[in-house]
Structure 1
C-alpha cells in the first residue's frame, strides 16, 4: 500500500513539472524532507509552509534531492555517441548518449515502456517510464496511478535490450 501512495505522490510531482525539463523524482526523500520541516514547525509557521509550497516549488525540491550513485553495470564510455534529443515537438538538440546492449529489467503495456536500471546498491533502481507515443507523456499521465506503475514494476523481466540513454547534467 505504501509503495502505491509513494508512487502516486511521485506521479503528482511529475504532472506538475514542465514536460520538457529533466526531472529526477525521489518521492520518499521528498516526503521525509517535507514531513520533518512541517513536523518541527509551529501552527503559524506550519500554515505558512503549506501556502509557500507551490507547484513550482515541488519541482525545485525534487531536483535538489538528486540521487548520485553508481550503476550496477556501468555504461561503457567508448560506446557513447551523439544523437538527436527532442524535448518538445519543435525543439531538438544534439546530445551525447550513453549506450548499452545487455539484459535489463524491462516491461511494456499498451501505452508505456518501462526500463529499470539497477544501481550498485540494489536497494535503489532508476526506473524509466517512456510513452510509446512520441510526446505522449501528458496523455499517459492522465490515466496513470501508483497501482498501475506498481503493477508494471512487478512484471519486470530480464530482456535483451538496446539502451540509448541521454547523458544529462543536473
Structure 2
C-alpha cells in the first residue's frame, strides 16, 4: 500500500462499497463511484482546511497530498485515461462542468485548475430564470450520457441557488468473447429472503476467462474488446451470502482478489441485467463522514471569496448487460451552493443464479459498482 497506483483504486472501491451499503442488500442497485469522486475532486480543488482534509480522506486514502501523487495529479491522469476514449470495442465519455451564478466572481486560479485538471468549464448562468437554467443543465447531462439520464435537474433544484457541480460518466463496451444468443436459457434466480423468479441467462461453455476465489466468494472477470475494461462479478459461495459479504468486503480485499485473477477454463451462467437507480447522495456522503461540506463550517474560499456550503447532492446511474456487451451511465450533481498467469487445468463452474456484486473497472479503477438481487 505504498503508492497511488494501489491506494487510489482501494479508496475508490471502499467509497463505492459505502455507497452500496446505503441501500438494503435486497434491492438491485448501480452507482458510479468515479462520477461522484470526480465531483468531489472538483470541489476539493477549491476547498481548504478541514473541509479539504475530509474530502481527501475518502477519495485518496493514505496517498500523498502533493506532487505526482496528489488528489489532483492522480484524478487528472485518470480523467485523461477515460475521457472520450473511442474505438477498440469500447467507448467512454466523462463530462465535468461547474454551473455558477453569473453574478459571482470565481477565483481565477480555481477556474484555471478546473480546466487544466478535469477539462471542467465554468458556465455563468442566470439562476434567477430557474426553469430555463434547469432545462439547459439537464440537457447537458442528457447529451453527455447519450440520452440515458435525462430530466435529472428540475426547476426546484436551481431556484434561488448559487451553483451546481456536475460530473457524468458514460460507457459502452463490446465483450471480447460474445455470448451466443442461441445459448440463452430461462432459469430460476434465487433472490434474497428465499424468493424465486425466472430470468434469462447467458451461457458460455469451456471459456478461458480470468477467475479468482477465496473462502467466501468467486470472482469472474469478463473483458471487453478493449481489455483495460472488464466487468467483474463477485458471487458469494453461499446462496444467501450477499448481505454478509457486502458488510465485510473492503477495497483492499477487492483489489487483492483482482490481482489474483488467473486464466481458467470455465462454464459461465450469468443473468442479463438492466438496472436504473437513484441515490440520496447527501445522506451517503454524511454516512462516510463527509459532513463539513454540508455545514456552515465548510471552507470553499478557494472557489469564491465568500462562505459557501453544499446544500444538496444527487446521483443516478444505469447499467445494461446483454449478449453483446454493456452500456452504463452515471451522473452526479452537487447542487445548491448557498451563501495474468498460466491456465488452470481444472474446469470451474460459475453460475450466478443468486444475488451478487459487480464492478466495472478501467484497469482496476471502479467506474460502476452494483448489486443484482
Kindly indicate whether the alpha-carbon contact (under 8 Å) linking 1:15 and 1:138 is maintained by their aligned counterparts in 2.
no
The 2-side partners of 1:92 and 1:109 are apart by 27
Map residues 79-94 of structure 1 onto 2, 5 A cutoff: 79-94=183-198
Residue 230 of structure 2 corresponds to 125
Q: Distance in 1 between matches of 2:170 and 2:198?
A: 24
User: What is the distance in 2 between the residues matched to 1:163 and 1:24?
Assistant: 22
Deviations 1:114-169 (A, max 9, x none): 11111112221101111111111111222221111111111000111111110122
Name whichever of 95-104 and 83-92 sits farther off: 83-92
In structure 2, the CA distance between the partners of 1:95 and 1:37, relative to structure 1 (3 Å rule), is farther
The number of aligned residues is 151
Once the two structures are superposed, residues 30-58 of structure 1 have per-residue CA deviations (whole angstroms, 9 ceiling, x without a partner) of 3114544786488xxxxxxxxxxxxxxxx
Tell me: CA distance 1:67–1:86, structure 2 relative to 1, closer, same or farther (3 Å): farther
Bigger radius of gyration, 1 or 2? Answer: 2
Q: Which has the higher strand share?
A: 2
Q: For 1:160 and 1:10, locate their aligned partners in 2 and report how far apart those are by CA, in whole Å.
A: 30
User: What's the CA shift for 1:69?
Assistant: 1.6
CA distance in 1, matches of 2:233, 2:178: 17
Which of 25, 30, 34 does residue 19 from structure 1 map onto? 25
For the structure 1 residues 76 and 6, does the alpha-carbon distance in structure 2 shift closer, same or farther, using more than 3 Å as the test?
same
Counterpart of 2:15 in structure 1 is 9
- Whole-angstrom CA distance in 1 between matches of 2:256 and 2:31: 19
Q: Residue 274 of structure 2 corresponds to which residue in structure 1?
A: 169
Q: Per the alignment, in what secondary structure is the counterpart of residue 6 of structure 1?
A: helix
Aligned to 1:156: 261
SS of 1:24 mapped into structure 2: strand
Q: CA deviation at 1:87?
A: 2.2
Question: TM-score, normalized by length of structure 1?
Answer: 0.77
Structure number with the higher helix fraction is 1
Q: RMSD of aligned C-alpha atoms?
A: 2.6
- How far apart are the structure 1 equivalents of 2:196 and 2:237? 19
Aligned residue number for residue 145 of structure 1: 250
Bigger Cα displacement from structure 2, 32-41 vs 16-25? 32-41
Q: What secondary structure, in the 3-state scheme, does the structure 2 residue paired with 1:153 have?
A: helix
TM-score by length of 2: 0.37
* Secondary structure of residue in 1 paired with 2:273: coil
Could you list the runs of 5+ residues in structure 1 that have no partner in the other structure?
Answer: 43-60
Whole-Å separation in 1 of the counterparts to 2:245 and 2:217: 8
Q: Hey, what does 1:58 align to over in structure 2?
A: none
Partner of 1:116: 221
